[in-house]
A and B are shown apart, each in its own frame.
Chain A
Amino acid sequence: EADIYQTPRYLVIGTGKKITLECSQTMGHDKMYWYQQDPGMELHLIHYSYGVNSTEKGDLSSESTVSRIRTEHFPLTLESARPSHTSQYLCASSEGMQGYYNEQFFGPGTRLTVL
């Protein structure tokens, strides 16, 4: 089993609230990722990080922001939640070494509903 955790697992919140989705991993992986996935739809990469103090935007534009102050921690923040942010958010990590067959390990996801 992968040692990557996400909290909360489920979140229902009102419009305009600030939220932070937590992701942490104990595998010492340098690379971490956030994906967004609507039910029955494909995963979209919204943020990734190659290591501490490194963050990049992914393929899908997102109003969320991320930070990477510690290797094991990669939180995602929405300053003002809107109903359009309702989705599942999946965090993943992989080893930092250069190479091509690095498996990405996924956390269980956070299901966010914005009313």
Chain B
Amino acid sequence: RKEVEQDPGPFNVPEGATVAFNCTYSNSASQSFFWYRQDCRKEPKLLMSVYSSGNEDGRFTAQLNRASQYISLLIRDSKLSDSATYLCVVNVPVIKAAGNKLTFGGGTRVLVKP
């Protein structure tokens, strides 16, 4: 089983609609969570961190459910520019060197169409 799993999509979304998708993680010791966005043939960029109480950034809302070990991302009023692959990223503490290591999901592709 993969450590971080996502529905690869694509999610075809009409412009202006709302889309939501989840990501599950297997390691209960995971302590921090992120959504990154990756455009085609570009590098990933941080979209938002996901906090325990849930958080919102403009049209984007992220939720964390520790009991069921999943995080979600909701995009309201979708824009054409929201078309991208959204990567779920989970931080698993690495005891050695007191560091942290991010594990990336395979990504969920979102296509917003006019």
Contacts and interface: CB of A to CB of B under 8 A. Distances in A.
Q: Is the pairing of A and B real?
A: yes
Interface of A: 31, 35, 41-43, 45, 48, 50, 54, 56, 59, 90, 98-104, 106-109
Main secondary structure of the interface of B (DSSP, over half): strand
B44 interface: yes
Nearest to A104: B102
B14 interface: no
Contacts of B98: 98
Interface residues of B, number: 24
B72 interface: no
Given A103-B46, A106-B45, A107-B43, A41 B97 contact: no
B91 A100 contact: yes
Main secondary structure of the interface of A (DSSP, over half): loop
Interface string B78-114: 0000000001000101001111111111110000000
Contact of B106 (A42, A103, A106): A42
A88 B93 CA distance: 26
Contacts of B100: 99-100, 102
Given A106-B44, A107-B43, A100 B31 contact: yes
A48 B101 contact: yes
Identify the interface centre among A98, A100, A107: most chain B CB within 10 Å of its CB.
A100
13 contacts: A31-B99, A43-B44, A43-B104, A45-B102, A48-B101, A50-B99, A59-B103, A90-B43, A101-B32, A101-B34, A103-B34, A107-B43, A108-B42
A42 B106 CA distance: 4
Identify the interface centre among A31, A48, A103, A104: most chain B CB within 10 Å of its CB.
A104
Given A43-B104, A100-B91, 20 more contacts: A31-B99, A35-B104, A42-B105, A45-B102, A50-B97, A56-B97, A59-B103, A90-B43, A90-B44, A98-B99, A99-B100, A100-B32, A100-B100, A101-B34, A101-B49, A101-B91, A103-B34, A104-B46, A106-B43, A106-B44
